[in-house]
Every structure is written in C-alpha cells, then in structure tokens.
Structure 1
C-alpha cells in the first residue's frame, strides 16, 4: 500500500509540475503577444489612413546609387482571396501588390518600379486593377518609369498588367502572350441522367440560370456570354495595341510566344537577366547606378508564430464556385 501510495503521490507531483510549466508557458506567450500588440497599437495611433497610405519597412536589395527603385513581384495566379492555413492565413496577393504599388506612388523618392512577373494571368478585374495602379504611379511623376522583367511566364492577365510598363525585358527561356479571355465550366447533364440526378432551380428569369451544369446548354446563353467575352477581349487587345504600337490584332488571338518571336513582333523590348534589367532601368532613368529596395512588412506575433509553418487548409468548395471570366493561360 505504501508503495502504491508513493506512486500516486509521484504522479500528482508530476501533474502539478506540468500544470505549472504549462501555466508559465501561457504567461510568457501572453506577455510576448502583449508586447507585439502594444507595438501595433502604437502604429495604429498614427493619424493617417492605413489602406490609403500603407507603410512598409524597406530592405536594401541591390545597387549603391541614390536613385530609389522599388522591386515588386507579380507572381502566381492573379486572384483575390486569402489562402487559409491551419492557424492564420496568407495575405491576399492582389491586395498585397496594390498596396506595394500605392506605397511606391506616395514615396516621392521612388523613381521607378521594377515589376518582376511570373504569372499565367488570372481574374479580369484584378489584372486591370494592377495595370491601373501602375499607370497611377507614373502619372504622379512624369519622370517615373516602370520596367517589367519577365522571369518565366508573362501570359494573359500577367501580360495585361505589364502593358503599363515602359520597357519589357524577358529571360531567354520565358513565354509571353496569350492575349485573350476564357470562361469554362462543366456540363453534367448526361452524368446526371445516368445517376438519376436532376436540377431543381427557382429563378426570376430565363437567363438567371445560365450554364446550369445539369441542364442542356442553351445556345442563346452561349451567345450572350460570348458577347461579354468579346467585349473584354476588345478592351484587352486595344490596350496591347496602344501600349506596343501594333497595327492590327492578328497575333492577339490567345497564342503564346517564345522570346525570339515576342521580340520580333514587338511584344517585348529586350532579352536578358535580372542584372541586365537593372542596367537597362538605370539607362532609362539616366543614372549610372540605382538603389533597389523591396518592401517588407513585419508580421504580428500570432501570424509569425503559426502561419508560416502550418499547412494550408484544403478548399472543398472550389467545385461549387461559379464560372468566371478570366485573363488566364490554361494549356
């Protein structure tokens, strides 16, 4: 009995010690969180609109000149929405790019943006938003320049946004182009009939239920949507024609080009690597050397603790998303 009693006492002591250690851990975490929150509160106390005037820390990236250039990455599919993680989330990539361009626009010392593109394109409106933001950056100072540097892929919406550039340089193995609009969906009427599934839809009009996957495709619906696709393509092609000085739209039919073909057809201005892009940008600005910076925003305590090391959460609702118009290369 005494032996059993001593074991019970030992386990009780261990449990109490574990609780004390866990309590100490929570206390330390709380103190650290309070410190970070205190810093954030101090920053939030500034008298300015945070979304209108986003603030970033600057990392000196390249060069030793006095003329400041901001390097901004346009990478991946151009789509709004935050990728959820098990704890926290990744930022909205479109919002991030727009904020960085806005920060550069308000900084009078920034004389150029080096836009590094590696994107197949994406949604129509976000691509146009990035293009418009770059145009506003240049409009704020007539001496400003935007140089687009294509790393691997600059297609569709990525190319659309690049039309705000004064000069486009692509790496020798890059792919460029795909000027066009696409809209895709699935029709499962045949499968539904085999499985005994049918659609029950209550709509306010005959066109409200367009592209119902369990109904036969209506040619009139296709015609209506084709008109929308054509109007979006007209805008895309007109912007490319004006920016690149093209006489017609013969090549603007969705095809992609290697750099030799793109250079031949005036879809880009030069071929080179990142160092070459910096040299060319200095030349455009009339400077011998530049000071290239990139933006960095410190993460909050919980974001830095959890978000960067936790897995992403699968989005099981993707199949339920409606079809959308895209400036996207989808080979």
Structure 2
C-alpha cells in the first residue's frame, strides 16, 4: 500500500467516524483531509529531494577535494628546519603501483629541493619489479645527487631488497641493512604458461593469424619455436648485463665478486656486507641520527588518495581483461 493510499484510508476512517455522529458535512471533511494529506506528502517529498541532492553535491565535492586538494602527491609541508628526508619504496616496482617511478621520483625531488634537508634516506622493502621503472628511478637518483652534491642519499633495507629494488639501491651513497634482510637476486626473468597439451586433450584448435612471421612470439597457445626462445634469451641476457653494469658502477671497488653473485641468488644482510653488496647495519633512525646528524625524520613518500587509487585500479582491471595476461619481463 502506498503512502497516499494509507493517508486516504485514514481520512476515510475519520470520515466514517464523523458520519456515525450524523455530521451532515462529512463528505466535505473527507475531501479536506485528503487535500491536506496530499499537500503534506508533497512537502515531505520535496524536503527529502533537497536532502539527497545536497548529499550528492557534498559527496561530489569530497571526491574533488581528494583528487585535487587531498595531498595525493609527496607531502611538501614542514619546509625549513634541518631534518632527514625519508622516501619509502614498498612492494612491487611497477607502473601504477605505489612504488612506481612517477611516485618515487616525485617524492625524491621534493626531498632534495627542501632547503632544510640535510640528507635523504631511501627505505626499501621490495622484491623487485619492472626493469624500466627501476632504471628510471636509478637514473633520476644519479641526476639529483649531481644537482644537490651537498645532500647525501643513503639506502636502508628492511625485510627485502631484491632485483629491481637492489637495482635502485646501488644508486645510493651507502646501503644499510639488518643482519636478517634479504639482499641480491641480480637477474632477469620472463615467465608465462604453455597450454598446447591441455588443448590437445580438450580438442581445442588454435586459430591465429598474424602479419609478420614473429608476431606470435611465445604465444602460450602455440608450440614453442626454437628461434623465438633464443631471441627471448638473448634479450634477457642483454637486460641482465645492464643490471650487472649498474651494480658494478654503483658499488665500485666495494664489490667482492664471486661466480654466483650475478646468478640470481640472494643473501642475508650479514652476508651481503661480506660480499660488498651492502655497507653496514642501520635503521632509518640510526642513520638519521648518527650518519646524517639530523635526527628529525620527515616523510616525503608520495601516497595516492582514495579517488586516484580507485581510478587506477579500475583502469588496471580493464586493461588486464583486454591483454589477457601477456608475458612480461621482470627483474625478479
């Protein structure tokens, strides 16, 4: 039953009561009650309509604030005053991730450009990720260190600094670890799956048309082609050598090379110091206090706001569905 029907029913009930008292004007009373109830209902609907419109505008305004005024990039507040600037790399290094080159570089620039910065600490806790993103960050650190020669940059490793994470770490002046940290994994990988045998059992036929004889290179639904595999291995070897060159340049004569150093193995923090992959033990607080001599630590890490994160994740899910999870090259 609708609200109008309920109100009308109440009015009729009231009218019936009046009729029982032999009121000659009961018909008029019924019409008046119906008119008044209809008017009240219209006013109630209008008030609720205004309320929900105001709520919608408030929500829209909040979203705009989070996108443009919510501090989605590096925190640039608190300029001035001697301090140690902190930039954190957490999780996989990849486009669109928290540890993307865009976010890390934005934070590093803010840290170096602050007049109160006496040193920068790059805290890394990452298993690696994109060679391109790692390389961009490494190159930018080298540029910033030249542009701000009086500001040192130290790397502090927490749980893990492997592959792309270590590629970035070697750009620092020194690398500090915990004795149980995981360091290394200097290598490159390309992974995927092959479904040809499963397709045979299921009676599935692969139909693939290409323009270009190598366009279907490493297609997971087609048998492997030896020359395609060799081409991929050649490319991986080239990127691996780039990684090795960067490590040698960054660590210099501190590096004590062994046959297994660039094989993809990783070591504990204690062993990494022995091998020259790291320089000593330290935490963010100890390095800020004892090495940089500026115990106040200010975090410049770029963090996405809610709206940006939702937009990126939505876009990533759409692209994942389009690409179907193609093979990718990763440090780790």
TM-score by length of 1: 0.76
Q: Which residue of structure 2 lines up, in the alignment, with residue 73 of structure 1?
A: 88
C-alpha distance in 2 between matches for 1:294 and 1:162: 18
1:17 paired with 2:27, answer no
Give the match's secondary structure for 1:122: coil
Q: Which residue of structure 2 lines up, in the alignment, with residue 315 of structure 1?
A: 317
Judging by fraction of residues, say which structure has more helix.
Answer: 2
Q: Which residue of structure 1 lines up, in the alignment, with residue 279 of structure 2?
A: 269
Q: Which residue of structure 2 lines up, in the alignment, with residue 294 of structure 1?
A: 299
C-alpha distance in 2 between matches for 1:232 and 1:68: 38
Per-residue Cα deviation, 1:212-246 (whole angstroms, up to 9, x for no partner): 11111112111111111111111111221232233
C-alpha distance in 1 between matches for 2:107 and 2:48: 46
Are the aligned partners of 2:112 and 2:120 in contact in 1 as well (CA < 8 Å)? no
- What is the Cα deviation at residue 141 of structure 1? 2.5
- What is the Cα deviation at residue 105 of structure 1? 3.9
Are the aligned partners of 1:172 and 1:272 in contact in 2 as well (CA < 8 Å)? no
- What is the Cα deviation at residue 115 of structure 1? 0.2
Are the aligned partners of 2:285 and 2:295 in contact in 1 as well (CA < 8 Å)? no
Q: Which residue of structure 2 lines up, in the alignment, with residue 194 of structure 1?
A: 201
Q: Which residue of structure 2 lines up, in the alignment, with residue 120 of structure 1?
A: 127
Range 237-246 or range 10-19, more displaced: 10-19
TM-score by length of 2: 0.75
Q: Which residue of structure 2 lines up, in the alignment, with residue 326 of structure 1?
A: 330
Are the aligned partners of 1:72 and 1:116 in contact in 2 as well (CA < 8 Å)? yes
**Which residue of 232, 240, 253 maps to 2:239?**
232
Are the aligned partners of 2:180 and 2:270 in contact in 1 as well (CA < 8 Å)? no
1:113-262 matches, within 5 Å, as 113-244=120-251, 245=253, 246=255, 248=257, 250=259, 251-262=261-272
C-alpha distance in 2 between matches for 1:153 and 1:92: 14
- What is the Cα deviation at residue 248 of structure 1? 3.7
Per-residue Cα deviation, 1:121-178 (whole angstroms, up to 9, x for no partner): 0011000011111111101022221110111110000000001111111123311110
- What is the Cα deviation at residue 104 of structure 1? 3.0
Structure 1 segments unaligned to the other structure (5+ residues) = 41-53, 83-90
Per-residue Cα deviation, 1:44-69 (whole angstroms, up to 9, x for no partner): xxxxxxxxxx8742258xxxx95343
Calculate the aligned-residue CA RMSD, in Å: 3.4
Are the aligned partners of 1:241 and 1:248 in contact in 2 as well (CA < 8 Å)? no
Range 186-195 or range 103-112, more displaced: 103-112
1:101 paired with 2:108, answer yes
Q: Which residue of structure 2 lines up, in the alignment, with residue 57 of structure 1?
A: 76
Are the aligned partners of 1:66 and 1:290 in contact in 2 as well (CA < 8 Å)? no
Are the aligned partners of 2:199 and 2:205 in contact in 1 as well (CA < 8 Å)? yes
Q: How many residues align?
A: 292
With over 3 angstroms needed to count, the CA separation of the structure-2 counterparts of 1:66 and 1:109, relative to structure 1, is closer
With over 3 angstroms needed to count, the CA separation of the structure-2 counterparts of 1:178 and 1:19, relative to structure 1, is same
Are the aligned partners of 1:58 and 1:294 in contact in 2 as well (CA < 8 Å)? no
C-alpha distance in 1 between matches for 2:245 and 2:82: 34
C-alpha distance in 1 between matches for 2:100 and 2:245: 26
Structure with higher RCO (Cα < 8 A, 6+ apart):
1
Range 157-166 or range 12-21, more displaced: 12-21
